[in-house]
Structure 1
Amino acid sequence: MRGRDEDTGEFFSPSRSQNRREALEVLALAEKLVALTEAQLAKLPVPEALLPHIRETKRITAHVAHKRQLAFLAKQMRREDEDALETLRDAMDENGEAARREVAAMHRVEQWRERLLEDGDAALAGLLDEYPQADRQRLRQLVRNTLEERKRNKPPHSFRELYRELRAAILGQGAGDEADHDDETSPEQE
């Protein structure tokens, strides 16, 4: 029984219906997590305690057993801090703040790449003023190679590598982490 405040008449806790709606939202989130690949999961801020449960749920294929394991995963998720679940929802939401930040960062990297290809050393000097950790020599070499690729109508290998190098410099990520993100390069590379 949830009880009421005698002075205001408000309920002390959420109704059973509200609790059920929240539980179903967590179950839906659990289903989305289980549907993701390992690479996609690695990019999300999933609490470490949930990862073994997610993997176990993925492993089970029998319908009833999978459904039962999914319910168990949702139960474990409800034990997590609400802020952690909200961060996870936001990271998974295409319209969420995290997605907007990532798209903005991608556009910023693409703009720098185009500036480097169009303006050359002047743009490189501006980039190095803003991001002093960037490798001047490597960027200069990639710009030269990219321009040569375009002139000879070759595949855009250096164009992609320039994107990865800029992303590592601008976002502070290791260039090795970006090796599998060729699909994130812009459509202008044709």
Structure 2
Amino acid sequence: MTESDQQDLDFKSRTQLKNESHDLQKLGEKLVDLGPAALAKIPMDQELKDAVVLARRINRKKEGFRRQLQFIGKLMRNRDVEPIQQALDLLENKHQQATAKFHKLEKLRDELVAKGDPVIDRLVEQYPAIERQKLRQLHRQAQKEQTQNKPPKSAREIFQYLKDNIQE
């Protein structure tokens, strides 16, 4: 590859530069929106952290906030933003993972209440920490509550038991 070919590859149009700058500002805005505990988990140097903390104190409706976001974007141009992006993605993904686990446990509970022993056998096989006798007892109580139109106390206990004993 000749030197002129390399220069063509390194060349970025003004539009590309503006888009990159805008993306960095958006990343900075996500940092500003984080709570203090989540912000502490993000790997960044002290100068960038100070700029983010200052932006949190500025009234969002004022021009100073927009300028501070631009400044954060400018600071991020000179840094490797990949670790920051990965940490943000991880924080956002934890919520989705927790929701998915919750729905999975709800589905297991509903299936256990509806079908009984086959589901209990499968769960005991998959998760050895689960007690077959305890699940059968809770299943019988849940069935009884359903037939008598009582509140689903045992179904809630099944959910809590599964939540406590299924580790993934």
**TM-score band (shorter)?**
0.5 to 0.7
> Superposition pairs for residues 120-135 of structure 1, below 5 Å?
120-134=116-130
Q: Relative contact order (C-alpha < 8 Å, sep 6+): which is higher?
A: 2
Which of 93, 103, 109 is equivalent to 1:113? 109
Cα distance in 2 between the residues matched to 1:52 and 1:162: 47
Alpha-carbon shift at residue 25 of structure 1 (Å): 1.4
Following superposition, the deviation at residue 21 of structure 1 comes to: 0.6
Deviation, structure 1 residue 85: 1.4
The alpha carbon displacement at 1:74 in A equals 3.5
Q: Is the 8 A contact 1:5 1:12 kept in 2?
A: no
Do the aligned partners of 1:29 and 1:89 also contact (CA within 8 Å) in 2? no
User: What is the TM-score with the length of structure 1 in the denominator?
Assistant: 0.54
2:56 matched to 1:58?
Answer: yes
CA distance in 2 between partners of 1:51 and 1:8 (Å): 36
Question: 2:8, 2:75 → 1: CA distance?
Answer: 30
CA distance in 1, matches of 2:76, 2:135: 44
Aligned to 1:179: none
User: Following TM superposition, by how much is the alpha carbon of 1:24 offset from its aligned partner in structure 2, in angstroms?
Assistant: 0.5
- Whose helix fraction is larger, Structure 1's or Structure 2's? 2
Following superposition, the deviation at residue 152 of structure 1 comes to 3.8
Runs of 4+ residues over 6 Å off in structure 1: none
Q: TM-score, normalised by structure 2?
A: 0.59
Cα distance change, pair 6–35 in 1 and its aligned pair in 2 (3 A): closer
After superposition, the C-alpha distances for 1:29-50 in whole angstroms (9 at most, x for unaligned) are 33345446x49x84x9x62437
Q: CA deviation at 1:22?
A: 1.4
Shift of residue 88, structure 1, vs aligned partner: 3.2
Q: Which has the larger radius of gyration?
A: 2
Query: Who is 2:28 aligned against?
Result: 30
Identity, in percent, stands at 31
Q: Which runs of 5+ in 2 are unaligned?
A: none
Residue identity matched to 1:47: I
Consecutive unaligned residues of structure 1, counting only runs of 5 or more, are 173-190
Question: What residue is the counterpart of 1:6 in the other structure?
Answer: 4
**Where does residue 67 of structure 1 map in the other structure?**
66
For each residue in 1:92-122, what CA deviation from the matched residue of structure 2 results, as whole angstroms up to 9, or x when unmatched? 5xxx9x95x6665444323211121112343
Separation (CA, whole Å) in 1 of partners of 2:142 and 2:7: 70
User: Is 1:88 paired with 2:84?
Assistant: no
